[in-house]
Amino acid sequence: MKSIHSLLLAIAFTVAAKAQPTIAIGDVKLALVFTSKDSPESIREYIPKGESLDYWSRMASVRVFPKEKKPLDYLQRVGARIPRTHPAARAQLLKHDKTGDNILDFLMFTADSSTAEWNLMRARYEKGKGLIVYQYAARFYTVDKSLGPAIVAERLKMIDPFETASFEEIKEANQSLEPTPTSVTPPAAQESRRP
């Protein structure tokens, strides 16, 4: 009886050790793949299971900036910086119809224009923590006449869920995050995903 109890305990421990936090933005589920807590500015990044940080279709992130206090100022600075660092980029600051919150909506391209990345970003100040910045991105590895309609469809699908998403983590059983045959096809080169 003692060995069965020990075996069950070992199995439970193994499953718990492999628990992987996920978040949901609407019907899009994303798994935690990166976290950095070694600096004052922390970041957590989430992508679909089966994809990698090098080749992903969607990504969400949560950043905390302890010294920042003004969400609108932060979004305006990021929006102004994007075209300077990515000349083909476009950015606009929107006010969400239902909540009145500000959302930065922007599109960036790799230097060789082979990949596009559409982003939404919102921020809020929390006393004792600092500025919490939420970001959602969709990456498109084909830049042709289908890109515009694809971005419009993604925007229509995701802007409301993004605005209301809590970004609260849910623990789930771990699955490999290595690329699979159904993963996004990798481009020849990638640039940084951070504006």
What are the structural domain ranges in the chain?
20-173
Are β-strands 58-65 and 90-95 bridged in parallel, bridged antiparallel, or unpaired? unpaired
pLDDT in tens, 148-160: 999 999 999 999 9
- Mean per-residue pLDDT, 87-112: 89
Share of residues in the chain with pLDDT > 70 (%): 77
Which H or E run includes 74? helix 71-85
**pLDDT value of residue 182:** 33
pLDDT in tens, 35-89: 986 777 899 999 999 999 999 999 999 999 999 999 999 999 999 999 888 888 8
The pLDDT of residue 176 is above 80: no
Say which range, 7-16, 126-135, 148-157, has the weakest mean pLDDT.
Answer: 7-16
pLDDT band with cut points at 50, 70 and 90 for residue 173: low
pLDDT band with cut points at 50, 70 and 90 for residue 22: very high
CATH numeric code, 20-173: 3.40.1000
Burial readout 137-163 (b: 16 or more C-beta within 10 A, e: otherwise)? bbbbeeeeeeeeeebeebeeebbeebb
pLDDT band with cut points at 50, 70 and 90 for residue 99: confident
Which H or E run includes 122? strand 116-126
Partners of residue 107 on adjacent β-strands: 90, 118
**pLDDT value of residue 128:** 92
As a whole number of angstroms, the distance between CA 12 and CA 20 comes to 15
